[in-house]
Structure 1
Amino acid sequence: MAHDIHVVGGGLAGSEAAWQLAEAGFRVRLSEMRGSGETTAAHQTDGLAELVCSNSFRSDDAEANAVGLLHQEMRTLGSLILREADRHRVPAGSALAVDRDGYSAGVTAALGAHPNITLVRERVDLLPDGPAIVATGPLTAPGLADSIGQATGRDALAFFDALAPIVHRDSIDLDTAWFASRWDKGETKDYINCPMDKEQYLAFHQGLIEGEKTPFKEWEKDTPYFEGCMPIEVMAERGVDTLRYGPMKPVGLDDPKTGRWPHAVVQLRQDNASATLWNIVGFQTKLKHADQVRLFRTIPGLQNAEFARLGGLHRNTFIRSPELLDGTLRLKNRPHVRFAGQITGCEGYIESAAIGLLAGRFAAAELRGETMASPPVETALGALLNHITGAAVAETYQPMNVNFGLFPPIPGRSRKGDRKRLYTDRARAALGEWITPRPFEEADSPPVSAPVVA
């Protein structure tokens, strides 16, 4: 089938971009190298929108959380990623967590069945010559990465992203561990808590320091970690109590056996719909597998743990988007090409999908010969886009999750809790004005004048 636009990459951003374009009536060639005999260091399947790290899209609270607000805005705009996440949701308190296999299968089936999408399992080594969206993510294949480097005239920046271990539920000792909400916030008890006394914690901390780590390859040396996905052993190196104020924080978690907070707590979150798999929250690691098994089995409640997946480490790359992309995500020196997802320097599943959604909508408007206004910076979508394309200092540009710090300040003084509500109320009003009239009208087919690439 001839196509109007080429989307390269079948991750969350590429999947969302392809969906938005196809729903607008445009014919999309969606290229994904997994399934063609190619793979990456992090992926395990050839499913579209595979979640390679956590199974959580983080908070779904649209009243007091920027990422929850982003969820709501994307649902309003017909996001496939959010639709399938809602369909494959697993218990996680106020967070939106999914059965990762069912979720990926749902996205793959929806895109594969769409009459306007041709899914091609192929590796793309050169930037396309016609209209395109590049959403190949942080593990872009070397050939395409070289092509991007030649087009941008700059080396990509990079940071490390580590995978957390996943444990089989029936190997967790619930005579020692107990269920509670995340740091005892909320009424549901969706997290398994493993308590540590001071002696156990200090021994665990020392084990993280002394454990054998995966050696760096030459091209990985001197690459900075991203603060939002810090390996647990790197946190441990920052001080003996760093973990107790981070992923092992015991605040609000009364051990039912003692009635008191433990010295530290390890939390696990449900990872699939059948609740047979649980991931260790915040335990991204580059420890070698043997040391992971030995050390993590010293955690009370996990002494007999069986691991469905151990932690790992991979390198992420992203471009200097504020310098290289315009306000609609087009490469300034090759405006027929847009970028979307983590390769633009946004961080997080939902942020990547959100930029894919915007790239798809910007491209659809352009194919119609129209110009789509950017979402207002008062919205979560607009604030995130503004960070990516309008950051003041490109030289220090770093990956960022959506947060209220990216939004324009609320005028005047207000209490913290009230301020969050003011942000969300303002965002909803701004989004409503932006989509009325809609940025583009959906149609069964693109206009005759739309460019067609064979």
Structure 2
Amino acid sequence: MADIDVIGGGLAGSEAAWQLAEAGVKVRLFEMRPVRTTAAHKTGSLAELVCSNSFRSDDAASNAVGLLHAELRDMGSIILRSADANQVPAGGALAVDREGFSAAVAAAIEGHPNITIVREEITALPTGPAIVATGPLTSDALAEAITAATGADALAFFDAIAPIVYRETVNMDVAWFQSRYDKPGPGGTGKDYLNCPMDRDQYETFIDALLEADRVDFHEFEGTPYFDGCLPIEVMAERGRETLRHGPMKPIGLTNPHNPTVKAHAIVQLRQDNALGTLYNMVGFQTKLRYGAQAEIFRLIPGLEKAEFARLGGLHRNTYIDSPRLLDQTLRLKSSPNLRFAGQVSGCEGYVEASATGLMAGRFAAAELTGGHLAPPPQTTAMGALLAHITGGHLSHETSGPRSYQPMNVNFGLFPPVEPVATGKKGRGQKKAGRKAAYTERARLDFSTWRTGAPASEAAE
């Protein structure tokens, strides 16, 4: 008899199973492939990389995902160990030979005496201790079971993603804070949106760029229709040059304090995306433009000329739960504490992030099953920042979470703000480099403190 079941043999499930087994817990790891495959997977291997072979930047000194790499290594991640052993040249990124990587993970999992692999589709949620790590292509039967357990509005099957901008890169000599008609709304102030104005020529130039831009076609396996409520901006532009001016870019109810006597022809609004106020999403700007085209076109918007993006936009099939509402800070389902969720089904984005949630879910569950307790890492660390985003850890228990929860890669915008440290660079580059160095320095200190069980720093509280 196993002590716990792990459903899904991808990155998160494999990592969770490994962490549990290393803690002495007996694990049954369920993977439905190759008995039943998906339209995206090509093999029945554990930890198959479906898309890119890159784990992104390995620079732990100035990059949030590199910092997450370092924390995973420190925690004995089987995913990072296998990636390091199968690395291929990729500049500052950690990229892998995908077959060698998957084989390394599989060999470790299959060879562990505390893990039993079961090739079988799970169509119902277990009643005993389990971690659900089925990824963005969760089978229809299990997705229905999750919906039945959590509510019809708790599972997103289609992911309409708008770009997210770092607040500090918005030019406030052009943009301003104001809600339409100054309405405060629930919990608002009347100045809840960043507004970027366009005159007629700027708007026409923007529309031309949208219509001419390179875009990504839907993959066949997605089969995703467009919904009127989340049309890509380039599709709206195709329906008429004035469509956006009467949709997400309408200028009514807003007055530019930098130039109050001139009415803007169109206005792009950005809405705060996290409790820290460091990230803002571009309202109504879900898109299938290619990433390179997005950055170029969105910087045509006045106020966003030098914008830096925490995430670019997209529209694709995805299956993930409304984690801030449903999960506690240790990834347990609030309505069924025997169940934890990890990986992309929990609402994270990216290989490394999925692995990190698997590691944390495995560690949290192992502590419980062996009679201990593991506190969540502080939000000042990469793991803690990611966990807080997924679970709404920064929100009070009385809230229902963000109005529109979307998956995101780890980035410094998820960390509490920090004062820059001095660097050798000059000008704006000095401030940017100094802030990244400060994030990293604080994260390393607080992660080490958390690992040793000592009280966290004031910054982590």
TM range (shorter): 0.5 to 0.7
DSSP 3-state at the match of 1:14: helix
Shift of 1:217: 4.2
Instruction: State yes or no: 1:430 paired with 2:446.
Output: yes
How far, CA to CA, are the matches of 2:145 and 2:318 in structure 1?
17
> Would the alpha carbon gap of residues 220 and 30 (structure 1) be closer, same or farther in structure 2, given more than 3 Å must change?
farther
How far, CA to CA, are the matches of 2:325 and 2:17 in structure 1?
25
Q: Normalising by structure 2, what TM-score?
A: 0.65
* Counterpart in the other structure of 2:70: 72
How far, CA to CA, are the matches of 1:234 and 1:89 in structure 2?
25
- Taking the TM superposition and a 5 Å limit, the aligned residue runs for 1:337-376 are 337-376=339-378
Shift of 1:229: 11
> Would the alpha carbon gap of residues 17 and 161 (structure 1) be closer, same or farther in structure 2, given more than 3 Å must change?
farther
* Counterpart in the other structure of 2:19: 20
- Taking the TM superposition and a 5 Å limit, the aligned residue runs for 1:407-426 are 407-411=415-419, 415-426=431-442
DSSP 3-state at the match of 2:449: helix
Shift of 1:397: 1.1
- Taking the TM superposition and a 5 Å limit, the aligned residue runs for 1:47-196 are 47-155=45-153, 156-159=155-158
Instruction: State yes or no: 1:404 paired with 2:420.
Output: no
Residues 320 and 394, structure 1, Cα contact 8 Å, conserved in 2: no
DSSP 3-state at the match of 1:242: helix
How far, CA to CA, are the matches of 2:286 and 2:323 in structure 1?
21
Shift of 1:377: 1.0
DSSP 3-state at the match of 1:316: strand
Residues 160 and 224, structure 1, Cα contact 8 Å, conserved in 2: no
* Counterpart in the other structure of 1:180: none
Residues 8 and 30, structure 2, Cα contact 8 Å, conserved in 1: yes
DSSP 3-state at the match of 1:374: coil
- Aligned AA (1:354): A
Shift of 1:435: 1.2
For each residue in 1:134-186, what CA deviation from the matched residue of structure 2 results, as whole angstroms up to 9, or x when unmatched?
Answer: 00011111111111101111331244599xxxxxxxxxxxxxxxxxxxxxxxx
DSSP 3-state at the match of 1:114: coil
How far, CA to CA, are the matches of 1:399 and 1:30 in structure 2?
25
* Counterpart in the other structure of 1:242: 297
Residues 351 and 402, structure 1, Cα contact 8 Å, conserved in 2: yes
DSSP 3-state at the match of 1:318: strand
> Would the alpha carbon gap of residues 159 and 224 (structure 1) be closer, same or farther in structure 2, given more than 3 Å must change?
farther
* Counterpart in the other structure of 1:250: none
For each residue in 1:107-139, what CA deviation from the matched residue of structure 2 results, as whole angstroms up to 9, or x when unmatched?
Answer: 111101110000110000000010000000111
- Which one has more relative contact order, counting CA pairs under 8 Å at least 6 apart? 1
How far, CA to CA, are the matches of 2:71 and 2:130 in structure 1?
25
* Counterpart in the other structure of 2:317: 315
> Would the alpha carbon gap of residues 72 and 217 (structure 1) be closer, same or farther in structure 2, given more than 3 Å must change?
closer
> Would the alpha carbon gap of residues 317 and 215 (structure 1) be closer, same or farther in structure 2, given more than 3 Å must change?
closer
- Aligned AA (2:407): P
Residues 158 and 224, structure 1, Cα contact 8 Å, conserved in 2: no
How far, CA to CA, are the matches of 1:322 and 1:87 in structure 2?
35
* Counterpart in the other structure of 1:329: 331
Residues 346 and 400, structure 1, Cα contact 8 Å, conserved in 2: yes
How far, CA to CA, are the matches of 1:361 and 1:399 in structure 2?
22
* Counterpart in the other structure of 1:395: 403
> Would the alpha carbon gap of residues 11 and 207 (structure 1) be closer, same or farther in structure 2, given more than 3 Å must change?
same
> Would the alpha carbon gap of residues 231 and 84 (structure 1) be closer, same or farther in structure 2, given more than 3 Å must change?
farther
Shift of 1:232: 4.3
- Aligned AA (1:348): G
Shift of 1:242: 3.3
* Counterpart in the other structure of 1:31: 30
How many aligned positions are there?
Answer: 332
> Would the alpha carbon gap of residues 406 and 106 (structure 1) be closer, same or farther in structure 2, given more than 3 Å must change?
same
DSSP 3-state at the match of 1:396: coil
Shift of 1:215: 10
- Aligned AA (1:74): L
- Aligned AA (1:433): T
* Counterpart in the other structure of 1:43: 41
Q: Runs of 5+ in structure 1 lacking a partner? A: 163-201, 246-281, 286-312, 440-454
DSSP 3-state at the match of 2:76: coil
How far, CA to CA, are the matches of 1:5 and 1:81 in structure 2?
20
For each residue in 1:393-450, what CA deviation from the matched residue of structure 2 results, as whole angstroms up to 9, or x when unmatched?
Answer: 43211111101111111147862211111111111111111111499xxxxxxxxxxx
Residues 82 and 104, structure 2, Cα contact 8 Å, conserved in 1: yes
> Would the alpha carbon gap of residues 11 and 132 (structure 1) be closer, same or farther in structure 2, given more than 3 Å must change?
same
Shift of 1:359: 0.1
How far, CA to CA, are the matches of 1:95 and 1:338 in structure 2?
31
Q: Normalising by structure 1, what TM-score?
A: 0.66
Aligned sequence identity (%) = 57
- Aligned AA (1:76): D
Residues 222 and 317, structure 2, Cα contact 8 Å, conserved in 1: no
For each residue in 1:279-337, what CA deviation from the matched residue of structure 2 results, as whole angstroms up to 9, or x when unmatched?
Answer: xxx9x99xxxxxxxxxxxxxxxxxxxxxxxxxxx9621111100000111000000000
> Would the alpha carbon gap of residues 352 and 32 (structure 1) be closer, same or farther in structure 2, given more than 3 Å must change?
same
> Would the alpha carbon gap of residues 209 and 366 (structure 1) be closer, same or farther in structure 2, given more than 3 Å must change?
closer
For each residue in 1:83-120, what CA deviation from the matched residue of structure 2 results, as whole angstroms up to 9, or x when unmatched?
Answer: 00000100000000001111111111110111000011
Shift of 1:369: 2.1
DSSP 3-state at the match of 2:21: helix
How far, CA to CA, are the matches of 1:366 and 1:211 in structure 2?
45
- Aligned AA (1:242): I
> Would the alpha carbon gap of residues 215 and 41 (structure 1) be closer, same or farther in structure 2, given more than 3 Å must change?
closer
